[in-house]
Amino acid sequence: MWLALLLALWGSVVGFIAGRNQRPELVESARRATYALAGVLVVASLALIVALVKHDFNVSYVASYTSRNLPLVYTLSAFYGGQAGSMLFWAVVLATFGALAQWLTSRRYDDLLPYVAAVTSLVVLFFVATTLFAANPFVRLPFTPSDGGGLNPQLQNPGMVVHPPLLYLGYISVTIPFAFAVAALLSKRLDTGWLHAIRKWTIVSWLFLSIGITLGMWWAYVELGWGGYWAWDPVENASFLPWLTMTAFLHSVMIQEKRGMLKKWNMILIGLTFFLSIFGTFITRSGIISSVHSFAQSPIGNYFLFFLIFIVVATGVLIAKRMPMLEAESQLESMVSREATFLFNNLLLVGIAFSVLWGTMFPMISEMVRGTQVTVGPPFFNQVNIPIGLALLALTGIGPLIAWRRASPGHLKRQFAAPVTTGLIVAALLLAIGMRDFYAIMALSLAAFVVGTIMQEFIRGVGARNRLHGENYALAFARLVGRNRRRYGGYIVHLGIVMYFVAFTGQAFTTSIEASLKPGESVDLRSPWGYTYTFTHLGVSQYEELNRFTTAASVEVARDGERVGIMKSEKRQHVDSFGRASFEPSTEAGIRSDLREDIYIVYAGSVQGTEEAVYRFTLNPLVWWLWFGGAVLVAGGVVTLWPGATSGAERRRSMAGYAASITGKSSAAAAG
Amino acid sequence: MKPRTKFIAGAILVAGTVGFLMTSGIKETGVYFLTPSELASKIETDPTFYDVGVKMGARVVTGTIERDVASQTITFEVTDGQQTYPVVYRGLAPDTFTDDVDVVVEGRLMADGTFHATSLLAKCGSRYESVPSA
């Protein structure tokens, strides 16, 4: 680890010098330093993994997070389950990404790369230093306990094995585009070159963030047992914030590439995204804002605070100094243009980000200003963000329909006719079947409008190829997407986002009932779809498993009198290898999904000594669309990233992104 | 009007709307977050503070938790060392809710001095770490 510290220091110092005077041997040295750094940190990580697997409880980290009877997968996931380990995880992944960026980026960007090496090394330096001085996972205990404390049962879930590393990969990979942005500023090469160099990186890190957030929702849904997937908890917000600014960045770089506008804005956005991703790590790891996720207070908070201030000052000064070189090459020509919709999209995304940040920080702000803490909860976030989110959804549909620069009225009529009709038909249908919730109707009609837009784009594109090249429809479709991956991949991603919105709408119609039932007794619950579900309590059984003692309650479920099946919900008491109880008991909800709704059963416990059980039955409409939307989103992202057959340089760039996603995945797999 | 000025006007409109939504949102949904002794001093200076929605963060007093499973009601006491309030909560308690944990209860303090909670959040101070079995 000390070696890593020195290497990181060397890498950043040499990187800056090499960037400045471009001496080939220094450039090479900076490059080698990033490779060596990655190598050393990988060795350190392997050492920790070996300690975990071999149950070396003399290492305090191993003793606090694992136990002998913990399944192997979870033993490995303990690597990033604890604070010190997650710091090391950050450092090793970032070093690997940094090395990959050096290795895979085209030599055309040689004057940027030393600076990139310097910035990534500097960030790694911070994490290595924090690990060493404040949260070292290799600290040994003065004695060797015979068994460890075990991993929190709530973390013993497949979603939790992959969710934190993927979210971290998202956070971490944001550093690379940021490093390129800083490199462009330092080297004064402020054309669109750096944007091309990072295009794939930004999409990869955006995908990691999206997947990480979605898996986090999934974990909260199946494991925490409260029936929802998003509670506007500070930690959730922290993961959402960089996602928002990253999404804004993805859209606004297109304007810079096409029209040479928004250069300052893009710099600020990528700086903000990086800041927020470090801030997110800081919030999750420091417990500064009270949250159900909060971790033990620890000294790393100060390190982070210092680093965050450093980022703001350094980036701010740098952008300010280069301000004159970031003048726009062209002006906004019309309000009815693609640029304008993108600008509004950016405004709304940043607006959401600001309101979420404000709401998250509000208890602290109000304490400073007024002396008492005032908290805002989910109602605040929903009240603010539902309208903004809907406006954003509308723009998702409007954007692709409007031409660059300036759109003519005739063009607009032709473009909007079909999608708007689709939206109106859906609105009419919903009103006809008796839906009266304003936001729900808006959301679903707008969703239909966006789907209409996307379909129209695909149909027109396929039709044009069919006419011009005489290709059959299937071939035309494949070629259409193949020739313009970024555009059509983007549409597929939009489709996924629409599904998220559909799923969110379902939340407005959740119904639930709590009941205490003796065996054989039943309770009815009416679903928003008009069915009546009957839940019959069958009985409670108890049995031992590898590292836990399980109490399972079974329920027979019937829909309109027709048997659906038996569902089970569990209470688990985890035990250590001596059979003593460890941790509080945890709940395993029984979940059955279909396209319309989820049946969600929580067994809360039994009346002392009897088989009378207390349950909460919940019907969650449309939740399934969330997970499906996630899959569509990833598919769209992969289409965008898929190596194309345009030019050599283009291909190499594509490969860079693709390889990064592959190695990212396999390193996650290796770590998990 | 030039497109640029139009856009700036639009941007101001958007920012204004967001700002309005935020301030009204905080006004309508903001809730005081108090410790038991802060709540007690508020009540002393302003008796109308009974039956007003607040959040209270405190520690569960060991041995005071009573669960009535049939009516799904939980009663317990919370304290910050100086002031103690009895709490009544109807509903399912989270798994982490046990003796001596920090909880956040949302609800109203009634004139009889009991706190009627509508939501109960338990915070395991070291959620991702094991609790040393002391």
Q: Which residue has the tokens 């996720």?
A: A293
Asked whether residue B65 falls in the same domain as residue B49, the answer is yes
| CB-based contact, B14 to chain A, within 8 Å | yes
| B42 and B76 together in one domain | yes
Asked if residue B128 belongs to a domain, the reply is no
Strand order in the sheet with A597-606: A511-517, A613-621, A597-606, A590-593
Q: Hey, what's the torsion of the CAs at B94, B96, B101, B102, to 10 degrees?
A: -50
Nearest to A500 by CA among A450, A434, A425: A450
Q: How many residues does chain B have?
A: 134
Substitution target in A584, A588, A606 with the highest count of B β-carbons within 10 Å is A584
Please indicate, yes or no, if residue B16 is contained in any of the structural domains: yes
Using an 8 Å CB-CB cutoff, list chain A residues near B6. 335
In a domain, B67, yes or no: yes
| Residue A270 domain flag | no
Contact (CB, 8 A) for A304 and A277? no
Looking at the domain assignment, is residue B35 inside a domain?
A: yes
Q: Are B6 and B68 contained in the same domain?
A: no
Question: Which tokens hold the place of A287?
Answer: 């417990």
HSE-CB of A661 using CA atoms within 13 angstroms: 24
Least CB–CB distance from A373: residue in B11, B33, B121: B33
Give the pLDDT score at A666: 39
- Residue B115: which of B57, B46, B44, B28 has the closest Cα? B57
- Cβ distance A295 to B129 less than 8 Å, yes or no, reads yes
Asked whether residue B1 falls in the same domain as residue B61, the answer is no
- A315 inside domain: no
**Does the residue B130 lie in any domain?**
no
Q: Chain A residues with CB inside 8 Å of B15's CB? A: 347, 351
Q: Which domain holds residue B67?
A: 31-123
Question: Do B17 and B35 lie in a common domain?
Answer: no
Taking CB atoms and an 8 Å limit, are A295 and B126 in contact across chains?
yes
- Note whether B103 and B70 are same-domain residues: yes
Residue B133: per-residue pLDDT:
29
User: What's residue A296's pLDDT?
Assistant: 42
Residue type, A546: L
Is there a domain that residue B107 lies in?
yes
Q: Do B15 and A355 touch (CB under 8 A)?
A: no
The answer to the question of residue A534 being in a domain is yes
| B59 and B8 housed in the same domain | no
Residues of chain A with pLDDT below 70 are 1-23, 106-107, 143, 146-160, 225, 284-301, 371, 546, 575-585, 608-609, 643-672
Nearest CB to B129; choose among A296, A358, A585: A296
Read off the tokens for B74.
């939980």
- Check whether residue B90 and residue B100 sit in a common domain: yes
**Cβ(A623)–Cβ(A503) under 8 Å?**
yes
Note the pLDDT tens digit of each residue in A18-65.
Answer: 656 666 777 777 788 888 888 888 888 888 888 888 777 877 778 777
| Stretch among A289-293, B109-113, B122-126 having the lowest mean pLDDT | A289-293
DSSP structure string for A230-249: ----HHHHHHHHHHHHHHHH
Separation of alpha carbons A478 and A480, rounded Å: 5
A667 lies in some domain: no
Q: Has residue A546 been placed in a domain?
A: yes
Residues 6+ apart with CB under 8 A from B81: none
- Closest chain B residue to the Cα of A61, Cα to Cα: B129
Q: What is the CATH number of the domain that holds A541?
A: 2.60.98
Q: Does B12 share its domain with B57?
A: no
Is residue A580 domain-resident? Answer: yes
Residue B87 lies in a domain: yes
Shared-domain flag, residues B38 and B93: yes
For testing contact with chain A, the best of B38, B130, B133 (most A CBs within 10 A): B130
**Does any domain span residue B134?**
no
CB B73 within 8 A of CB B95: no
| pLDDT at B126 (0 to 100) | 40
What pLDDT is stored for residue A287 in this prediction?
Answer: 53
- A616/B92 Cβ within 8 A: yes
Cα gap A492→A454, rounded to integer Å: 8
ipTM for the whole predicted complex goes beyond 0.90: no
d(CA A423, CA A670): 46
Which range of residues forms the domain containing residue A529? 509-624
- Pick the residue from chain A with its C-alpha nearest to B68: A607
- Specify the amino acid at residue B15: A
Which among B16, B22, B55 is positioned nearest to A356, based on CA atoms? B22
**How close does chain A come to B46, measured CA to CA in Å?**
15
Residue B62 neighbours by CB under 8 Å, 6+ apart = B99, B100
Number of domains in chain B: 2
Domain match, B23 and B78 both: no
Residues B119, B53, single domain; the answer is: yes
| Domain membership flag for residue A411 | no
Number of domains in chain A: 2
B chain contacts of residue A388, beta-carbon cutoff 8 Å: 18, 21
- Kindly report the CATH number assigned to the domain that includes residue B94: 2.40.50.140
